Amino acid sequence: MKPTAIDLFSGCGGLSQGLKQAGFQVKVAVEIDKETVNTYELNHPETITINKDIKDVEVSEIKNAANVDKIDLIAGCPPCQGFSKIGSLNKNNRYNDPRNELVMEFFRIVNGIRPNFIMLENVPGLLHYDLFKQIIFDLEEIGYFLDVKIVNIADYGVPQRRKRLVLLGSKLGSVTIPENLGLPTKTVRDFIYNLPNVQDSDDPLHKIHSSHGEKVKKIISLIPKNGGSRTELPKEYWLDCHKKNDVGYSDVYGRLSWDKVSSTITGGCLNPSKGRFLHPVENRSITAREAALLQTFPKDYQFSTHSKDKLAQMIGNAFPPKFSEIQGKYIKELIELVKS
């Protein structure tokens, strides 16, 4: 029998996809956004979805939906945008973002169900958050052995530079977040090089990318291929907003490199003004399908919308499946060890 899991703040299903690849049966997923739930259900029809604000979800509702004697794992990625690197730039508001308190909802559900294993993933800035420190204390008080680390998902077979905080807990004994696995670094080339040209593709998702006026098209065409940056352009082609002193975000209007990992895939991943999201050699942003592949979603993963902004948000906010698969396999091994 497969071990069972619950996915809180499930988004479009990246965490669930990885857990399924690791051999879990995801019984219940909780997600507030209806369009995102539609995408989740396209790919995980066997999972019961609860489309509500998690603050309005009772523990009993999750238990009834799961309809099993024991849940082995509760996993989730509570939104904490106030503690992201970008969010931290706005220091006056970072602590006031109400989404930051959703980590308490994660604890509430865990406390009500008491699975043998828990996993929480988030931005590294969460580590210094008082509520997170309180949750660590509270989890230990109810019997969880914990390991907390900041890791780079590029070390886990994901072709992306992305540091994340991971909390792993067990009621059965000490646990250690897998690291130093010796996996080869995967690159942009490994995941999107062999895709057909956009105009020749029969995949609607591969036809969705940014569109620009003639001035920006010209600028993009002049950015050196395979990793070039806007700073390498002749100054007459610099946008006015980039001519000011001490302008940050040097990656904007930058190209990905074929033989390196990509920059972090974010909710702005289909807009080159939001980061290094230009195709290595073609004069366009990466497509929605390319962004999903760089997040390690399967090639046939379905999305319920063709809205560019909504797709970028879903894909950029997702938990990379390959990363959760590795964590899931480790937890599954521990479950099987206890049962043997």
Record the pTM: 0.92
**CA separation for the pair 107, 304 (Å, rounded):** 31
Rg (CA), the chain: 21
Q: Which of 12, 80, 241, 269 is catalytic?
A: 80
The angle that helices 34-43 and 308-317 make with each other, rounded to 10 degrees, is 70
pLDDT confidence of residue 244: 61
Q: Are strands 163-170 and 117-122 parallel, antiparallel or unpaired?
A: antiparallel
Which domains does the chain show, CATH number per domain?
4-176+319-339 (3.40.50.150), 188-316 (3.90.120.10)
What residues of the chain score a pLDDT lower than 50? Answer: 86-95
In a 3-state reduction of DSSP, which class is residue 6?
Answer: strand
The string of pLDDT tens digits covering residues 124-158 is: 999 988 889 999 999 999 999 999 999 999 999 99
- For CA atoms 150, 251, 210, 257, the dihedral sign is negative
pLDDT tens-digit profile of 40-79?
Answer: 999 999 999 999 999 999 999 999 999 999 999 999 999 8
How much is the pLDDT for 80?
A: 65
Residue 247: predicted pLDDT: 53
Active site residue 77: no
- Residues whose CB is less than 8 angstroms from the CB of residue 219 and which lie 6 or more positions away in sequence, other chains included: 230, 233, 237, 239, 253
